[in-house]
Chains A and B, each alone.
Chain A
């Protein structure tokens, strides 16, 4: 398969993730969309690594996965904390700095 196919697929995934972040109003779905975008980048890294026979693409993928895990843990903890206060997952419910 040409490298371009993988890049188009990666771009498509990234665009879908971005659309999710912009359009959805549910904190969980927002975090899932961010995960989609991270995975799109992973795919591009692995495809480029294969193209040039370099190992770095795969290594960076592992670092992205680690960051994604840390991001998910902290993000979900924040979601739980916010939900306790407002009983809502809609980001628009969280507009005040202090209550």
Chain B
């Protein structure tokens, strides 16, 4: 039980620190690498929650595919550095009103989430370990292809649309 808590705080710490690094790094390459670290922490949390398939999908799909796409884009655009003047100009502390309003909104959202959580009852109850976790891939597949069949099929249309859209948007116009 104690090791469970230790692992939770370890993975949670990695996740939060990675997320903070994403937002505070000025080099987008470091941001992408930090978010990958954050995703590995999340994968650990999914293992703790007895959802191993989600953990593996998190690493393969998110860290392996989506973030590589991000890295390719950053390097393709050669945008690995924001120039210093741009950074000074756009840093929230140096900027006037508009961005500070954004910061206030972000803080308000965090406060609101905390407030909502603090008013919810039953949060201190440990997750019921006697109740069996649904972690078999077989069960996942059964539900996915029966109850969620329609959503699954619609997803394939979404992917096709995104693929065509991405190809057309990124195409070089040679007139």
Residue numbers of A with Cβ under 8 A of B are: 1-9, 11-20, 22-26, 28-29, 31-33, 35-36, 39, 42-43, 46-47, 49-59, 61-63, 65-74, 76-81, 83-84, 89-90
Contacts and interface: CB of A to CB of B under 8 A. Distances in A.
Interface residues on B, range: 35 or more
A20 B23 contact: yes
Contacts of B19: 13, 16-17, 36
A46 B46 CA distance: 7
A59 B5 CA distance: 26
Contacts of A19: 23, 103, 106-107, 110
Interface in B119-134: 120, 122-128, 131-134
Given A58-B54, A61-B51, A89-B82, 12 more contacts: A9-B15, A9-B45, A17-B19, A17-B23, A19-B110, A25-B90, A28-B74, A29-B25, A46-B54, A56-B143, A70-B159, A77-B169
Contacts of B139: 55
Contacts of B167: 77
Interface string B157-175: 0110111011101101000
B79 A83 contact: yes
B57 A76 contact: no
Contacts of B170: 76-77, 80-81
Contact of A26 (B4, B48, B82, B126): B82
B20 interface: yes
**Interface of chain B, main secondary structure:** helix
Interface of B: 4-5, 8, 12, 15-16, 19-20, 22-23, 25, 28, 31-32, 35, 38-39, 42, 45-46, 48-51, 53-54, 57-58, 61-62, 65-66, 69-70, 73-74, 76-77, 79, 82, 86, 90, 92, 99, 102-103, 105-107, 109-110, 113-114, 117, 120, 122-128, 131-134, 139-140, 143-144, 148, 151, 155, 158-159, 161-163, 165-167, 169-170, 172
A24 B169 contact: no
A52 B130 CA distance: 11
A50 B25 CA distance: 34
Closest 9 CB pairs of A and B: A4-B123, A22-B102, A70-B162, A15-B110, A77-B169, A19-B106, A25-B90, A11-B113, A20-B23
B13 to A, nearest CB: 10
